[in-house]
Structure 1
Amino acid sequence: MIYPSLDAFVKTGAKHLAKGPIAMVMVEDDVEVATTLRHHLQAGFATVLAFMPPDFTLPRDLEIDAIRITYDVTVEGAVQKAVNRINDAAIGQWLYYCYNAEYLFYPFCETRSVGEMLAFHSEERRAAMLTYVIDLYADDLDACPDAVSLDHAHLDRSGYYALARKDPATGHPRERQLDFFGGLRWRYEEHVPPARRKIDRIALFRAAPRLRLLDDHTFNDQEYNTFTCPWHHNITSAIASFRTAKALKRNPGSTFDIPTFKWHNSAPFEWHSRQLLDLGLMEPGQWF
């Protein structure tokens, strides 16, 4: 189904928000759009919304299975606006957002649905889940000049770290909040603005009144920005993403400085949650 605008969807598409969890895929370009949508449909999202330009095409099955909303996500602030509008229209539902060429992984995702995971997370009285955005990149940039290859994807197996997140009003660290860094944004930080170097994103969250996504991928409710509850560790998840690699190779200021993304800490991406768990890039918490 196709809606001509976000306004049209909010006014007439309420039936698609009646059951969660709901995925929102922000389509910036035409790279791996179909695989992104299929990945999240297979993960068990009840509804997958594709925010995308009108001139992009989708395979016939996805025109049926995904809900297409004509929208320009490249405009400044457009992603936050879309997420916040869907939040207001789907109070109480679990929502998720990502970009094309990004793929959600969570503990045991090969055998359990995202709905099962979020049901357990809800039982632990959590309304949001931290996701680490793990950079993927093609191993051969001559063969894949846009740095995207599903068959030959690599990731960094080390080089990740966290710093205390300070409250700008007091200068003191915020409780149970950290800023996470690593991957290509860390290795090529001279080409990445400081405000865009973090790899943490609160990509899974329960819609709530007056909740607002901010431009740094955090929310105006500080509890939503925590990585764990006060009494024990919670589930975290990961988004395997080609987005940074694409940007670094498309940017004229960085593309010629990067003949390859591979280094001594590169490893083939196995497309399996076990690898991410073993590398410490997500954790199951109390969920077994």
Structure 2
Amino acid sequence: MSHASTFHQLHRNASPLRLPNVWDAGSARLVEALGAPAIATTSAGFAWALGYPDGRVLPFDEVVATVRRIIRVLKVPLSVDIENGYSDDPKTVADHVMRLVELGIAGINIEDGPDAASLLASKIEAIKRAVAKSGSELFINARSDVFLASLVEKSTQPEESIARGKLYTSAGADGLFLPALVHTSDIETIAGSIRIPLNVMAVPGLADAATLGKQGVRRLSAGSGISQVVLGKAKAIAREFLESGRSESLDDTPVPYAEVQALFRRG
């Protein structure tokens, strides 16, 4: 079974696929070693790790280079967050995606954000055509920021999300990602109204994975959360080291050197 087929299958279980999003080859290999059946990236974490702000400014060549490094160390399927595809032109976006497909990715996240829903639908259609022409497979997770960016009035957010979900499904999307969707009634309404797996993002106050599964959720993502926690931890340790100069500040649950080395010794 191909990585893309395996990745599709992972969205068909009663318990949501849990994806602790990674930002480079090291974090990807670490999460894989913990038993993750698939790996997904965070575009924000990618950007920060490469010295760019989040928000559609990361040069696509940098994305390709980082994905190549991640693919080299992984054995499980990889899904890549490509923001808006780093272009407003559907053909250019499809060309970008095919560069990643050629590397061996199993899926992508692609977002609407402030753009018209019809533009994302056109991008999805162009990607599906390019993937089919190549004889490849790809899981396209359509992210909509209806809730996250309050694209419409609060009372109409579930209805708008369903409408976009149906549009993106018709265009060829395989999943619908709605960051900031947290309320049980909204989750159940949306999950029951679309034909593709529903993906939500972990935030404080969200139900646990088992409960989300019963509500119809099939994928749970950490988003940029883990990378932000790691940066927060690094900030605190570095500050304490700079201020005190005490070596003890570096002895706060580190992964042993030998264990890290072992992650990258592949037999």
TM-score, with structure 2 as normaliser: 0.29
Structure whose residues are more often helix by fraction: 2
Structure whose residues are more often strand by fraction: 1
